[in-house]
Amino acid sequence: MSTSGKYDIVIVGGGIFGVSSAIELARRNHKVAILNPDTIPHHLASSTDISKAVRMEYGSDREYHRMAELSIEKWHDWNHILGEEVYHEVGFLMLCKESIESEYQSFEKCSIENLAQAGYPSERLGVLGLKEKFPVVNVDNYPEGSFNPKGGYAESGRAVELLAKYAASIGVVIHEHQTVSSILIDDGQCNGVETKEGRLFHCQQVIVAAGTNTPLLVPEIQPFVKSTGHSVFWLKPSEPKRFTPPRFSVFTADISNTGWYGFPLHPRQGVVKIGKHSKGDAIHPEQDDRIVRADEIEDLRSFLESTFPELRNAPLVCTRKCLYTDTMDGHFWIDRHPEVQGLIVCTGGSGHGFKMGPIIGEITADTVEDKEHEFAARYKWRHLTADTIQMEEARNV
Ligand SMILES: Cc1cc2nc3c(=O)[nH]c(=O)nc-3n(C[C@H](O)[C@H](O)[C@H](O)COP(=O)(O)OP(=O)(O)OC[C@H]3O[C@@H](n4cnc5c(N)ncnc54)[C@H](O)[C@@H]3O)c2cc1C
43-86 pLDDT tens trace: 999 999 999 999 999 999 999 999 999 999 999 999 999 999 99
Q: Ligand 1 pocket test: which of 36, 38, 46, 69 has the largest number of ligand atoms within 8 Å of its C-beta?
A: 46
To which H or E segment does residue 334 belong? Answer: strand 333-336
Q: If we measure between CA atoms, which residue out of 199, 264, 268, 159 comes closest to residue 7?
A: 199
Pocket lined around ligand 1, Cβ cut-off 6 Å: 12-18, 35-37, 42, 45-47, 52-53, 179-180, 209-211, 213, 217, 230, 232, 275, 322-325, 347, 349, 351-355
pLDDT of residue 6: 84
353-363 pLDDT tens trace: 999 999 999 99
Atom of ligand 1 nearest to the CA of 18: 25
372: helix, strand or coil: coil
With beta carbons less than 8 A apart as the criterion, state whether 286 and 247 touch.
no
Which whole number is the average pLDDT over 200-211?
Answer: 97
Cα distance between residue 228 and residue 281, in whole Å: 5
313-371 pLDDT tens trace: 999 999 999 999 999 999 999 999 999 999 999 999 999 999 999 999 999 999 999 99
Q: Where are the domains of the chain?
A: 2-47+157-225+329-379, 90-153+226-322
CA of 15 to the centre of ligand 1 (A): 6
With beta carbons less than 8 A apart as the criterion, state whether 93 and 251 touch.
yes
CA of 208 to the centre of ligand 1 (A): 12
326: helix, strand or coil: strand
Residue 177, amino acid: H
pLDDT of residue 287: 92
User: CATH second-level architecture of 90-153+226-322?
Assistant: 2-Layer Sandwich (3.30)
pTM reported for the whole predicted model? 0.98
Mean pLDDT score of the chain: 97
Atom of ligand 1 nearest to the CA of 352: 12
94-128 pLDDT tens trace: 999 999 999 999 999 999 999 999 999 999 999 99
CA of 16 to the centre of ligand 1 (A): 7
Q: Ligand 1 pocket test: which of 52, 216, 260, 359 has the largest number of ligand atoms within 8 Å of its C-beta?
A: 52
Q: What is the CATH number of domain 2-47+157-225+329-379?
A: 3.50.50.60
